[in-house]
Amino acid sequence: MTKYQICTNCVMDSSDPQITFDENGVCDHCVGFEKFVRPLWKPNSEGMLEFKQKVQQVKKKAEGNEYDCIMGLSGGLDSSYLLHMAVVEFGLKPLVFHVDGGWNTNIAVSNIEKMVQKLNLELFVEVINWEEMKDFQLALYKSGTPHLDIAQDHAFFGTMFHFARKHKINTILNGGNISTEGIRNPLDWLYYGTDMSFIKDIRKKFGTNPMKTYPWSSIYYHKIYLRYFKKIEVLRPLNFMPYDKSIAIDILTKEYGWQSYPQKHFESRFTKFYEGYWLPTRFGYDTRRVQFSSLIVTGQMTRDEAIQKLTLKPYNLDTIHTDIQFIADKLGISVEELNDYHKLPKKWYFDYKNEKNIFDLGAKILQLLGLEFAIKR
């Protein structure tokens, strides 16, 4: 059995099976951040100036069009703050869309409505076929892997790329950022959401729905075809400006009446259950370690604060039984069946067909080209 160890700089620990530590007890997540990510991160006036110049290029490229760019709005902090900055600070005219995967919280719906109304924007909503989403999620449960959120994640960015092409928009604004995501989830925890070999194998073994309307998007489609043949560019503006989580929450609360969430990604009821309960209790993976570690290395939280927060359970003991019942009912199964999935033999992406080697190679090439900062591993 592996001896337990926690990083002396952040709070990543040996629950990440691939983690390594240097002679000072600092983990490879922190070492990688300092070596590859921080030198390219520009959360300052230099970055703002650089991005303002990029904005002028975006506007010129979209001249004569109704929209300058496209961006998805989940109602979470990153996308909400990005929308605020894009419209208020940079004067962009984004096509704003939301993907309804069937799991929105009331707070998320309210946050989205408040922002688009205050900013006087039109909202496009794409509703994913629920029978397809449900079948995909159940197939992932039956696979025994921890990678249950792929069904939602793939639908979200697949829809984004399809929307961009449909509306002939060449610039996508993405809320991904270093400030709150500088440390990445280990692949054993959250695997690539666009590995079609893995997805096809899971669906072949456990799926029952042909999923003819689901917005599929392979990595070859959006990383190669759309980027290099259709010239669709993905920008991450939050990496080129000061982005402090607490300040962003204050601004959104004051300007829009926006409501925050107990944890990152909890705008989805499924993700709240999955990251808050399923991963910690079945696999021992607590995604708060990744989130807090990102805040530590970017100076927004102390290690002591993170350790104190981690003493609390990641789920609410008073409501968890109600949450379990809700998830089971929504998926059309019994609580007993859901609990049976929790007891299945544990498996991971490497127990099924996958293209991890290709993903790894592509990520390293993009990192060398300065197009990718943090790399999952």
Question: Which distant-in-sequence residues (6+ apart) come within 8 Å of 259 by Cβ?
Answer: 107, 110, 111, 253
Rg (CA), the chain: 20
Per-residue pLDDT, 371 = 60
pLDDT tens-place string over residues 294-317: 999 999 999 999 999 999 999 999
**CA torsion, points 98, 102, 103, 109, in degrees to nearest 10?**
40
Question: Which distant-in-sequence residues (6+ apart) come within 8 Å of 7 by Cβ?
Answer: 13, 19, 21, 25, 26, 27, 29, 30, 293
- Per the CB < 8 A criterion, the answer to whether 81 and 181 are in contact is no
DSSP 8-state symbol, 276: I
Taking residues 173-177, what's their average pLDDT?
Answer: 95
Per-residue pLDDT, 224 = 84
In the structure, what pLDDT confidence band is assigned to residue 375 with cuts at 50, 70 and 90?
Answer: low
Residue 267 clears pLDDT 90, i.e. is over it: no
Selected residue with higher pLDDT from 375 and 15: 15
Per-residue pLDDT, 262 = 80
Predicted model pTM: 0.94
- Which sequence spans correspond to the domains of the chain? 43-272+334-368
Q: Residue type for 313, please?
A: K
Q: Residue type for 250, please?
A: D
What is the number of alpha carbons within 13 Å of residue 302 lying toward its C-beta?
3
Could you give the 3-state DSSP secondary structure of residue 154? helix
Instruction: Summarize the chain as % helix, strand, coil (round to 5).
Output: 50, 5, 40
pLDDT tens-place string over residues 77-103: 999 999 999 999 999 999 999 999 999
Report d(CA 287, CA 282) in Å as an integer.
13
pLDDT tens-place string over residues 207-226: 999 999 999 999 888 888 88
CATH topology of domain 43-272+334-368: Rossmann fold (3.40.50)
- Per the CB < 8 A criterion, the answer to whether 277 and 316 are in contact is no
In the structure, what pLDDT confidence band is assigned to residue 240 with cuts at 50, 70 and 90?
Answer: very high
Q: What is the 3-state secondary structure (H, E, C) of 223-261?
A: HHHHHHHCCCEEECHHHHCCCCHHHHHHHHHHHHCCCCC
> Judging by DSSP bridges, how do beta strands 233-235 and 171-173 pair with one another?
parallel
Per-residue pLDDT, 339 = 97
Taking residues 132-137, what's their average pLDDT?
Answer: 98
Mean pLDDT across the chain: 94
Q: Please calculate the CA angle 294-299-303 and round it to the nearest 5 degrees.
A: 70
Residue 247 clears pLDDT 60, i.e. is over it: yes
Residue 374 clears pLDDT 60, i.e. is over it: no
Taking residues 26-38, what's their average pLDDT?
Answer: 95
Residue 76 clears pLDDT 90, i.e. is over it: yes
In the chain, which ranges are E strands?
69-72, 94-100, 123-127, 171-173, 233-235
Q: Name the β-bridge partners of 72.
A: 97
Per-residue pLDDT, 82 = 98
Q: What percent of the chain has pLDDT over 90?
A: 85
Taking residues 57-83, what's their average pLDDT?
Answer: 95
